[in-house]
A and B are shown apart, each in its own frame.
Chain A
């Protein structure tokens, strides 16, 4: 029986990986316009950016999951087939990680040597080019360790998607626990999460070591 449970819970591993990768990718991209707003020289734009980030981060991920998954059906029950559990989970994870990624980008923006703006200006480079070709790439490199730590945290946070019925690790563990009435499946689920986390942390450290040299601080 024990061997069966390991194989049963393993069915969720690919869904957990997909939720994490797609949700993080969405957040990493959406975080860029957010950090531009958050660092904008225009007051109101900056306040909207800040307000949005604080609000998104201030509400638990489960609440976003339920809001996106169940919310639309209040207006039209047919929307349930648009906001499927998988799509809603990726949208919710993407939204929350966009807000966190924006803050990570902002932190790394501060760590880059600011006189590069002036240097690019002195060379006659337009500000947009400076942002996209000089500062942006360095910002992303500096952001790697913190982003990786966040992405690894997402592996675990994606477990919340089981509450709206996404078939990932915790969902299978729950099902198995229900039918065997023991806590063993949750130990197995925990082992899978740890097994996913450790190689990810190792890969992130290697990536950071490779990119670290290409930044002027």
Chain B
């Protein structure tokens, strides 16, 4: 226990820096991935069959490909040279978009049909029905599962070590390769991830219970 603490104190600046990179990478991923997910979700309701099919195919490819493979694909596959950080952000954003579009679609579908008909009866254009009626209510329903997914993606930023992004796990690995305290260093890295994810998941649970209180059965 004491040894683990000593290792933490010795390498704390590298580890905390790594955690900072992990957090920034997660934020970049959300900034690109969540709007793209919303776009894909809206596209799956399109009246044009071509748009609908394109959206479904993109989502299925995005969900069927492991995040690790996506990372390598973007890093090595895009002919323009991007930094590891940016490649990781784009790759994780693609995965995020595919998964969150399904979550958001579920939320949009939960908006009662009658409200859409009411909008049509008032002569609103489809665009305005989507923007002013369906999306604001549907997104609210989707918030708890979206937060849950964001926690998973924050964990997935750890994969970026494979393309040399200096995030928390990469830092932990390079420290462990120097002092051979593999166990101590990875325990510290794990705990640093848990410090973010566990409170976040407890808060998500609470939010979910609060928001679904009116639906409680029994």
Contacts and interface: CB of A to CB of B under 8 A. Distances in A.
B64 interface: yes
Given A70-B176, A71-B182, A58 B193 contact: yes
Nearest to B199: A58
Interface stretch (A22-30, A133-141, A186-194): A186-194
Interface SS of chain B: helix, strand, loop or mixed?
helix
Interface in B61-86: 61, 64-70, 72-73, 76-77
Contacts of B186: 63, 66-67, 70-71
B76 A54 contact: no
B162 interface: yes
Contacts of A63: 158, 169, 172, 186, 189-190, 193
A184 B190 CA distance: 33
Contacts of B193: 58-60, 63
Interface string A165-190: 00000100110010000110011011
A55 interface: yes
Nearest to A55: B194
Given A58-B193, A63-B190, A183 B73 contact: yes
Contact of A64 (B77, B161, B180, B190): B190
A84 interface: no
Contacts of B207: none
A18 interface: no
B184 A74 contact: yes
A73 interface: yes
B31 interface: no
A190 B77 contact: no
Interface residues of B, number: 39
A58 B69 contact: no
A59 B194 contact: yes
B206 interface: no
A11 B202 CA distance: 42
A5 interface: no
Contact of B61 (A58, A73, A194): A194
A74 B183 contact: yes
A58 to B, nearest CB: 4
A63 B157 CA distance: 11
Contacts of A160: 66, 68, 159
Interface in B153-195: 155-156, 158-159, 161-162, 169, 172-173, 176, 180-184, 186-187, 189-191, 193-194
Given A54-B198, A66-B173, A163-B162, A193 B65 contact: yes
Interface SS of chain A: helix, strand, loop or mixed?
helix
Categorize the interface residue count of chain A.
35 or more
A156 interface: yes
Contacts of A204: none
A59 B190 contact: yes
A57 B169 contact: no
Given A55-B194, A194-B65, A187 B169 contact: no
B194 A156 contact: no
Contacts of A194: 60-61, 64-65
Contacts of B182: 66-67, 70-71, 73-74
Contact of A67 (B69, B159, B187): B187
Nearest to B151: A58
A28 to B, nearest CB: 20
- Of the listed residues A159, A177, A186, A189, the one surrounded by the most CB atoms of chain B closer than 10 A to its CB is A186
Contact of A156 (B66, B72, B191, B198): B66
A52 to B, nearest CB: 11
A94 to B, nearest CB: 17
Nearest to B158: A60
A183 B194 contact: no
Contacts of A55: 194, 198
Interface of A: 54-55, 57-64, 66-67, 70-75, 156-157, 159-160, 162-163, 170, 173-174, 177, 182-183, 186-187, 189-190, 193-194, 197-198
